[in-house]
Structure 1
Amino acid sequence: MVIVVALTVIIVRIVVSRLLNELVLRGSISVNIREVTLKILDIAVIIILVGTATIIFIPQYWGILAVLGLLGLTILLLLIYPVSSYIAIVALQMRFQLKGRFYEILLPGSSKSLHGRIVDSTIYHSIVEDEHGVIHYVPNAQLARSVLKPYTPRVVFEVAVRLPGGGSLDLVELEEAIAGKLEEYGYPGFKDVKDVSVVRASGSELVFRVVFYPISIPVRKDSLRRLVVDLRSTLLKELQDRVVDVHVAVL
């Protein structure tokens, strides 16, 4: 009797698993639905097998209750994490349009925000790709407790311009000239619109904060290195003897 029941439920489990795989390949259902369905099916298989064996080998009702109680506790422990994680991602999807959108994500207990877009999610975690293409795996339960804010991808540079000495230097005019050059500067892969602001100004140095907005994501680090070199050489060429040196760094 037990062998017949076991073979039956195992065959059903295999058939359902293959059917779900076909549906995933066709795009009819998501991988998350497949995983949840198989998890529920596995639990049902365990309940059927243990229940059948208990009824056959332990005729006393107290024995049956004890076994079923232990089985229920085991199932609860097995399900509590995946179910809570799945509920967390469902709750997030109800609050936000997650996939493909960029967010500033402040994780619980972290002082630094994660900037990126959620490219995929499973029962247990979400996959976040940041602006530079680095993949981060964030547990759904942790993501559900995070603060999410819509975010526009950007790259911030600090441009430090060393000035020649001399009392005849018109600092205001030079500051406006450099800011104008920074606003006019363009580089492939970035929008023409950029934010330029003065961070620090003195007789020996002008420091600017320049925000570039990429056209597409991710922005590779080698592209940023080429931009840094090109921006520095462009400023030195156009400002000529009005400055001593230019230093460009990615913040």
Structure 2
Amino acid sequence: MNVRVFATEQEAAAACAAHVAEGIRAKPSLVLGLPTGRTPLNVYRELVALYQRGALDFSGVTTFNLDEFLGVPPDDPGSFRAYMERHLFQHVNLAPEHIHFLDGSAERAERECARYDARLAAAGGLDLLLLGIGPNGHVAFNEPGESLQAASHRARLTRETRQAVASFFGDDVSRVPLAALTMGMGAVLQARRVILLAFGANKAAAVTAMVRGPITTLCPASLLQLHRDVEVWVDMAAGRGLETSL
């Protein structure tokens, strides 16, 4: 892992957006894996600004998002699909047919996950994957446990994770679904390049466990130690447990 500690979250976000833009310019047909939540918001703002300045063209890019709440349709304001529409998709020239999402409202979750994995395989896998990390070390919705699944799957969400995403449901944890559909660890580890972002003191323990701790399914992000091309970009608060200087 190549760890970089930034003075501020905004600096890290700007650097990440510049890296994504460089990747798109080098390969206009880039296959890009995207997260949701608070962590990537500034990255998306920076990407939108680059597009609006005429410095970036998304027309050939293909996107795959990491996850979606189970039982939540794409047009629900609390869905991750709606989040992506608000913060990125409707502001850039991504072709609708190039946007790929797990459908949380699908009648059969297993069939939907298999469809998604087949679509990702047909696209050739992820060229660049942006990730966040949960306070408990999860990536996507691959939660800590005795084992992890390689393929996309239905994941039961921990209470800690549900609390972390309660803002999507009016800060009411009781409204957060108990489960989600998520990309599995296989696709995460097979991505050709990974940038993991983490900001804030509440991510410090997870970041330290990911980078310095043992490789264990009890910290799913620690499996990224096995990946050959991972950037871990954090602000000073999230990186406070690392022996890394600015």
**TM-score, scaled relative to structure 1:** 0.18
* TM-score normalised by L of structure 2: 0.18
The structure whose residues are more often helix, as a share, is 1
Indicate the structure with greater strand content: 1
Tell me which structure has the larger Cα radius of gyration. Answer: 1
Larger relative contact order, structure 1 or 2 (CA cutoff 8 Å, min sep 6) = 2
